[in-house]
Structure 1
Amino acid sequence: MMTTILFPSGPVFAEQSALRLSLNTVLHQQGTIDGAWWPRTRDAGTELPALISAVDQRLGRAVLRVGLHVDAWDHIPRRIQAPGRQVRVAWFRSADPHLITLSFAGTSPVSLLVIPPRTAAGPAIAALTRAVADTFGVRPADLLRAAAPEESSPAQDGSASWENEGGRVTEPAPERPATRLRPVTH
C-alpha cells in the first residue's frame, strides 16, 4: 500500500512505513498552522523520534522542544534522543489537543495539526492537504471536521471546541418522565 507524504514541493509517494507529514512553504504565519502530521499511534515515545528527525531534515534546524496535549497521547517521555542532543517534551492540558508545537533556537515555533491515528486514509490525506493551504483563522478541529464531516463530533454547535478553549460543555438536562396530576381533595 502506498502512503502519500505531502511536502511543499508536492506529493511524494513512499512505502507505508514512511512518515506522513505536510509542512507549509511559509512558516510562522500568525493565525495559521504550519502543517499537519498523521502519526500511526497515540504513543508519543514511539512516534516523536521520526517526526523530530523529519522536521530537522526538512527545515535544516534542530527541534529543541516538543509541546503537546497530555490527554491526546499515551506514553509521553520527558525527553527524546535526537542526533547530538536530547529534545525536551512538555505536555499541557491547556493546549489544543489537535496541535503539536515544535520549538527551535532563535525562531518561532512550528505548530502542526495532529490527525488522529485511526483516521481513514481519504480524510487524513485531505487534512494533510488542507493544513498547508490558507488556514488563517481556521481552528484545528474545523480542519479535521472539514476533512471528515461524517466522523465529526456530535457537538456541531461548536461547544466542544469552546470547551477546549477553556469553557465548559454541559450535558442536556435529562427529560423527566411525565407525571400524572392527582386531583387535590380537602
Structure 2
Amino acid sequence: MTATFQAPLPRPAPVAAPPARLTLKPDGPSRGLLDGAWWPRSRDLLRELPVLTDALDTVWGRITRIAVNPEHWPVIPHKVPVNGHVVKTGWFTPEMDPHKLLLLSYGTGRWDLLVIPPETDAESAARLMAAASDYDGPALTASLLLTADRAGHAASTAHRPADPNETWEYEGGTCAASSAVRSKARVASRLIIGM
C-alpha cells in the first residue's frame, strides 16, 4: 500500500478586524443615562463584540458580561470568545432599551452604550456619538436620543437654504463645515476609536 502526501496549503494570514467605532464620556462622575456610543458595522454579535470588548478591556477592565435587547440582533450567542477569555451575553426584552448595550466588568462596574444602527449615515452617527458621550447628558434614553436626532435632522435639513449665500446668513456668517467642526470640538470625549 502506498500513501500519497500532499504539501499543506499555505494558511492565509488573518485579516485584522477594523477598529470599533466607539466614543466614551470623559473621566469623572457619570451624568445622564448613557456612558457613550457604539456604531457597529453589522448586526452580527459574534463578529462585533470581540472588537468592542478588545477596545474597552484596556479602558474599563475586562468585560465579563454583555446584555442586549434582541429586537435588533438576529442571533444572540450565549458566549463570545475574546482574546483569551469568554464574554457571556444575554438578553432582556421588556426591561431593556432596544438601542442600548449594557456592559459589566469585574469589580469595575456597569456601562450603558447607545447602539447606533449599522445602516446609519456617518453624519448622523457622528452627531449621535457626540450627544451620547457629552459630559452633561443626555438625559434621554438611547431610543429617545435616536428619535430626537432623526426628527431634528429632518427638520433642520427641510429648512436649510440651498443657495450658498443664503447658507452664509443661515449659519450666522460662518460656513456649515466650520460650524460642524466647532460643535465636535466642544465634546471632550475620553475615547474615540475607528471614526
What TM-score does the superposition give when structure 1 sets the normalisation length?
Answer: 0.66
Question: In the alignment, which residue of structure 1 is the partner of 2:100?
Answer: 99
Q: Judging by fraction of residues, say which structure has more helix.
A: 2
RMSD: 2.2
Matched residue SS, 1:74: coil
Q: Distance in 1 between matches of 2:129 and 2:88?
A: 26
Residue 100 (structure 1) shift: 0.2
8 A contact 1:79–1:89 mirrored in 2 = yes
Q: Distance in 2 between matches of 1:123 and 1:20?
A: 13
More deviation in 35-44 or 143-152? 143-152
Residue 41 (structure 1) shift: 0.9
Structure 2: 5+ residue stretches without partners: 1-16, 155-195
Residue 26 (structure 1) shift: 3.1
8 A contact 2:31–2:137 mirrored in 1 = no
Deviations along 1:21-67, one digit per CA (max 9) or x if unpaired, are: 001113662642100000011111111110111111233x1000000
Change (3 A) 1:56 1:122: same
Deviations along 1:45-100, one digit per CA (max 9) or x if unpaired, are: 111110111111233x1000000001221221110112232110011112110100
Structure 1: 5+ residue stretches without partners: 1-15, 153-186
Residue 151 (structure 1) shift: 7.7
Question: In the alignment, which residue of structure 2 is the partner of 1:182?
Answer: none
Residue 144 (structure 1) shift: 1.4
Question: In the alignment, which residue of structure 2 is the partner of 1:146?
Answer: 148
Matched residue SS, 2:54: helix
Structure 1 moving runs of 4+ over 3 Å: none
Q: How many residues align?
A: 136
Q: Judging by fraction of residues, say which structure has more strand.
A: 1
Question: In the alignment, which residue of structure 1 is the partner of 2:80?
Answer: 80
8 A contact 2:80–2:86 mirrored in 1 = yes
Question: After superposition, where does 1:33-112 map in structure 2 within 5 Å?
Answer: 33-59=34-60, 61-94=61-94, 95-112=96-113
More deviation in 82-91 or 24-33? 24-33
8 A contact 1:100–1:111 mirrored in 2 = yes
8 A contact 1:124–1:147 mirrored in 2 = no
What TM-score does the superposition give when structure 2 sets the normalisation length?
Answer: 0.63
Q: Distance in 2 between matches of 1:28 and 1:69?
A: 26
Q: Distance in 2 between matches of 1:126 and 1:29?
A: 20
% identity of equivalent residues: 35
Q: Distance in 2 between matches of 1:121 and 1:151?
A: 13
Change (3 A) 1:83 1:28: farther
Q: Distance in 2 between matches of 1:57 and 1:136?
A: 25
- The residue identity in structure 2 corresponding to 1:139 is T
Q: Distance in 1 between matches of 2:27 and 2:138?
A: 12
8 A contact 2:104–2:111 mirrored in 1 = yes
Deviations along 1:129-157, one digit per CA (max 9) or x if unpaired, are: 111112252121222123332788xxxxx
